[in-house]
């Protein structure tokens, strides 16, 4: 991940709602399993999975920006 992507990720994490950000940090930074997060955050594991799923979708939109087309490329629709 380059510096620009890392900065976008940091900003995106900060923009997430508290519960979503905490789940992400526990899972992806600290390496907790989903069942451990459920216990720590006192929520059903299905809720943890849903929160992480939606957080990943939101973060992916921010981190992965489509690159500009080169002169010899065509846009695929």
- Structural domain including 46 reads 3-63
Question: Would residue 51 count as lying in a domain?
Answer: yes
For residue 75, pLDDT over 60 is answered with no
CATH of the domain at 13: 1.10.10.10
Domain count within the chain:
1
Q: Note the pLDDT tens digit of each residue in 42-71.
A: 999 999 999 999 999 988 887 766 556 566
Task: Answer whether 0.95 is exceeded by the pTM.
Answer: no
pLDDT band, residue 2 (cuts 50/70/90): confident
pLDDT value of position 77: 46
Question: Would residue 74 count as lying in a domain?
Answer: no
For residue 35, pLDDT over 50 is answered with yes
Question: Would residue 10 count as lying in a domain?
Answer: yes
Q: Is 10:41 a contact under the CB 8 Å cutoff?
A: no
d(CA 14, CA 26): 14
Question: Would residue 69 count as lying in a domain?
Answer: no
Question: Would residue 73 count as lying in a domain?
Answer: no
Q: Note the pLDDT tens digit of each residue in 17-30.
A: 999 999 999 998 89
Question: Would residue 27 count as lying in a domain?
Answer: yes
Tally of residues, the chain: 77
């Amino acid at each position: 991940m380059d510096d620009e992507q890392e900065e976008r990720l940091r900003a995106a994490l900060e923009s997430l709602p508290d519960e979503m950000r905490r789940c992400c940090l526990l899972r992806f930074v600290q390496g907790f399993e989903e069942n451990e997060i459920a216990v720590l955050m006192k929520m059903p594991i299905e809720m943890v999975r849903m929160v992480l799923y939606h957080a990943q979708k939101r973060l992916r939109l921010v981190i992965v920006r489509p690159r500009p087309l080169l002169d010899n490329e065509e846009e695929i629709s």
